Structure 1
Amino acid sequence: MSQELLAVTVAAVRHAGARMLTRYSTESRHPGLPEVLAHLRANDAAVVDTLRPALTKARPSAGWLNDEHGSGPLATGEWWLIDPVGGNVNAVHGMPDWNIGVSLVRDGRPVLAVVYFPVHDEMFTATEGGGAFLDGVRLRVSVKASLDGALAGTGQAQPGQDPDLVKRMGSAFEAMTNSALYVRVSVPVTHQLAQVAAGRMDLHWQFDNVRAHAAGVLLVQEAGGVVTDLDGTAWELTSESYLAAAPGVHAAALSVLTV
């Protein structure tokens, strides 16, 4: 993957982040769901309107998807997968944990990822075979070798989950709480995956894999982490679930999650 394309993508994402910061306020308060939904849609639109012209110009033959909850296979070729505002619900309520995530997927595998935390001005990047970086500094996952010292996390990819899936999520949280040092349940998922790549967290799991997670998955993989389905096979874009972890805790975490 060319450094020129990475640089163009970073510039576009940074521009989108600057636009979102003009919309973001720690004082943001909304009286109810209609107002929240309206601001969610407006934030997404502002970011897509900024990203799409630049990324389409950079890769005019690539398809475009900015459905952050989309899942399943893609047609062959290249696709831009956009999570316009990961953690948008946090941004709308004036909290700082939100990001802008972009990945380029080629024939079903991510080959480029850019995840930007505008509030903290942290730019995470990765290219297939080229490593993962935070503001230009190479990332490495943690060297933890035991769950008893591990920081773990999971999240809700979308509202309205199937009741059986919610029960499974609750059971997994209970099991991991009894094994790991700390378990975080939060969104956005890409925030947690970026923290795993940076070695700040040790593992993250999802029972509902969506395509927009591809950027975070590539960050973890290129930082030396292990990403598999919960049956232990290699992660794919079409996987229904996954575990992304430092190598030293992956097997133990997989055992906890598959009991």
Structure 2
Amino acid sequence: MQDLGTTVDGMAAAVRAVGAHLAAVQRPEPVPATTAAQALAAFRAVDGPAAAMLRERLGALRPSAGWWEDELTGEVPADGEWWVCDATDGAVQYLHGLPHWAVTATLVRDGEARAAVVHAPRSGATYTAARGGGARLDGRPIAPVPRGLEVALAATAHPPLVGGNDIARRRAGASMTALLGRVLAVRNLGPTALQVARVGSGHLGLFWEYGSDAGNLLPGALIAAEAGAVVTDAAGRPWSPAADSFLAAAPGPHAEAVAALAVVD
């Protein structure tokens, strides 16, 4: 069996190849879809070939690992070794001709992320991490920046669009109210995994989200944690793929954010 360092190198090569393909075929103007069905068809036309390319490359790298097809369920397998990937992470932005999208790959073993790569083709940034081996951006070790909330650039994401998320949407709205007066600015800067990884490199002060979103959160969560960020749910409890909220920040700002979010029901 390959060591994780060799696996991460192969993963990075795979996601960069897929990212280059997607960048080459991305339209500079928005896809002219005016209905949900048209938008879904446009997405599948792009994502299908990209996902097949990613699966082929990663399958050759780790033939014994399965391929997790149900990324939109918010769950990941609890047993065995699996690839949990998103060939077009940030598909909404991609289809609108925007640069804020990424390609992600995570090797999950027994429900725990072991290695992760998040690649942003339009900026050329590649985040990598192996459990116990630290995190890197373009090969350089990274660490979060412990800015206080008053000077922190905070990021968040829309609760996942899967069933049963009315509570998550209400909590997301309440959390925005709770944090708007406490942080320098709040932004949604595209793919969830990329935003969480940017907490690990200090480009963002914190990231939070409500709802079960394991497939999107796993790669960034490993990268941020290996970089030295605190990764929990919104109440400060250890995060797991089954959690219904997420928070990542440097240690000091993390405690401040947990206190701010305590008002959310």
Aligned to 1:97: 100
Say if 2:75 and 2:212, in contact at 8 Å, map to a contact too: no
* Structure 2 residues not aligned, in runs of 5+: none
Partner secondary structure for residue 233 of structure 1: coil
Match for residue 154 of structure 2 among 138, 152, 158: 152
Whether contact under 8 Å (1:176, 1:256) holds in the other structure is yes
> Which of 177, 181, 185 is residue 180 of structure 2 equivalent to?
177
Corresponding residue of 1:130: 133
Deviates more, 1:22-31 or 1:125-134: 22-31
Amino acid at match of 2:150: D
Q: Select between 70-79 and 174-183 the one with higher mean Cα deviation.
A: 70-79
Q: Is the 8 A contact 2:159 2:172 kept in 1?
A: no
What amino acid is aligned across from residue 8 of structure 1 in structure 2?
A: G
Equivalent residue pairs, number: 258
Residue in 2 that maps onto 1:217: 221
How far apart, in 1, do the equivalents of 2:203 and 2:43 lie?
29
CA-CA distance at 1:91 after TM superposition: 0.5
Q: CA deviation at 1:171?
A: 1.0
Structure 1 residues 165 and 47, CA gap change in structure 2 (3 angstroms): same
- Aligned pairs for 1:1-259 (under 5 A) are 1-33=3-35, 34-72=37-75, 74-144=77-147, 146-159=148-161, 162-212=165-215, 213-259=217-263
- For 2:9, what is the secondary structure of its paired residue? helix
Letter in 1 for 2:234: L
How many angstroms does 1:222 deviate by?
A: 0.8
| Counterpart amino acid of residue 121 in structure 2 | P
SS at match of 1:143: coil
Whichever residue aligns with residue 247 of structure 1, its letter is: P
Structure 1 gap ranges (5+): none
Alpha-carbon shift at residue 194 of structure 1 (Å): 1.8
- Whether the aligned pair in 1 keeps the contact of 2:85 and 2:104 (CA below 8 Å) is yes
> What is the percentage of aligned positions where both structures have the same residue?
36
After superposition, the C-alpha distances for 1:119-167 in whole angstroms (9 at most, x for unaligned) are: 11111111111111111011111121x2111111110243367333222
Deviation at 1:7?
1.5
CA separation of 1:12 and 1:157: change in aligned 2, threshold 3 A: farther
Task: Please give the alpha-carbon distance, in whole angstroms, between the structure 1 residues aligned to 2:33 and 2:226.
Answer: 42
Give 2:16's aligned amino acid: R
- Hey, what's the Cα distance between the residues in 1 that align with 2:171 and 2:4? 41
Shift of 1:87: 0.6
Give the TM-score taking structure 2 as reference length: 0.92
Matches of 2:239 and 2:6 in 1, distance apart? 28
